[in-house]
Every structure is written in C-alpha cells, then in structure tokens.
Amino acid sequence: MSVGQAVLNLLFPPKCPFCGHVTFNPGICSSCQTILPWTEEAYQVQMLPGGTPCASPLWYEGPVRQGLLRFKFSGASGAAETLGGLIAECAAERFSGEFDTVSWVPVSAKRLRKRGFDQAELLARSACRAWETRPEALLHKTADNPAQSSLAGGAAERRANVLGIYEPVDSTRIAARRILLVDDIVTTGATLCECARTLREAGAAAVLCITAARTRP
Ligand SMILES: [Zn+2]
C-alpha cells in the first residue's frame, strides 16, 4: 500500500460494501466473505429469453441486497471497486475470450441528473480497470420509465415497460462487435434482453450479460 493510499484510508476508511463495516483493506470484510450467498456453479450463468447468456456471481438476498441498494443510492467508489472486481473475476471465468468490448445498461438522462451517477457505468468502469481498458457508452435510454422494481405485475409488464426505450449511441461502434453488457442486478432479465435486442439489431455479433447479483428463480 502506498503512503498516499494509507493516508486516504485513514481519512476515508474503506468499508465493506455488504455490511458497511470499516475494513482495514478495501474489499469484502472477513465475516461477509464467509456468509455471502455466492451462486452455485450451475446457477452462475442463466440463459435469458432471446438466448442471451447472463452471468452473476451472487444471489440477490440478505447482505447482497442491502449492499447493492446502498450502492445504488450512494455510488460509493469503494463499493464500486469491490463489486466491479467481482464482476471482472466472474466474466473472466465464464466468458473469457468471448467479448471484445464492455458496455453497460444506462439510466435515463433525468435519473442521471437527479442521482449524479450511473451505478451500472461505475461497475463497468471498475471491472474494466482490472483489464486495463475502458467501457464504451453504446446505448442511450430515451425515456424515464418507471423502475422495473416498482412494477407489481409479472414478466410481461416488465417487458412492456422497457420495450423500445434504448437506442444505439453510434451503430458503427456496435457493428460486428462482441459486447459484454454490465448491470447491477438481473431479475426477469427484461431490461438486459431489451438492451441485447437493441445491440443485435444495430449489428452486434454477440451480446453477453453480467450482473453483480441475480434473484432466485
Ligand atoms: Zn461485510
């Protein structure tokens, strides 16, 4: 650890993104290490409707749910670093050599103004630091639709809520590329499927998805 980093750690002590306790080193605290609900190998990659594979290292429950909710509203950089690291590790394990660029599921311009950051972009940026590259903004969200988590209905309502609301930023950067798409959570997969469909329509050769966590089937 550099002196600069040590001073920063004293001023802004690193916190475990899952329980919020101060840790000596950035990352997951030792008690969370043992209790986190990691996805079993058979559940790490799921096939979303439309044939898009999606990998997730964690189940969205208990401390993972609390940690991701806290991250969504704070955008804490330490949490982004740790969660992005988990995403990078899982993508390397499951999708190694299968993608040549990284992007994310964007929030709307209105949401971005209100919150000040895009949580999926922070995760993508942090995951890319592990590969010494940068994610590319390939999609634009054209409408500020109700949050998927606010809908009472099932999968059909979630699909309808996101239909047609993403647009390619620049199709020349999408054509023939194999894209790894990052988001924080996957539930029914409606959002990721719609993003993947939009990217494929714009000429993407393949779309793979990765999220920090997934809900139980
Ligand atoms: Zn912890």
Mean pLDDT in residue range 33-48: 95
* CB-based contact 192:105 (threshold 8 Å): yes
Spacing, Cα 64 to ligand 1 middle (Å): 10
Ligand 1 centroid–CA 94 distance in Å is 25
Give the other-Cβ count within 10 Å of 51's Cβ.
10
| C-alpha of residue 210 to centroid of ligand 1, in Å | 22
Q: 77: part of which helix (H) or strand (E)?
A: helix 77-95
Span from the CA of 200 to the centroid of ligand 1 (angstroms): 39
pLDDT tens string 109-126: 998 999 899 999 999 999
Task: Tell me the CA–centroid distance for residue 41 and ligand 1, in Å.
Answer: 23
Q: Tell me the pTM.
A: 0.91
> Does the pLDDT of residue 10 top 70, yes or no?
no
Distance of CA 115 to the CA centre of its chain: 17
Which helix (H) or strand (E) segment is 212 a member of? strand 206-214
**From the CA of 90, how far away is ligand 1's center (Å)?**
20
Long-range contact pairs involving 114-118 (C-beta distance under 8 Å, separation at least 24): 115/73, 115/75, 116/75, 117/75
Residue percentage of the chain with pLDDT more than 70: 97
**Alpha-carbon distance 45 to 214, whole Å?**
10
What is the separation of C-alpha 106 from the centre of its chain, rounded to a whole number of angstroms?
A: 10
Q: Ligand 1 centre and the CA of 21: distance in Å?
A: 6
Ligand 1 center–CA 86 separation, angstroms: 14
Buried b / exposed e over 89-105, threshold 16 CB at 10 Å, is: ebbeebbeeebebbbbb
Q: What separation in Å is there between the alpha carbon of 34 and the centre of ligand 1?
A: 9
Residue 209's beta-bridge partner residues?
Answer: 54, 181
Q: Is the dihedral of CA 209, 215, 216, 217 positive or negative?
A: negative
33: CA distance to ligand 1 center in Å? 7
Q: Cα of 13 to ligand 1 centre, how many Å?
A: 14
pLDDT of amino acid 1: 67
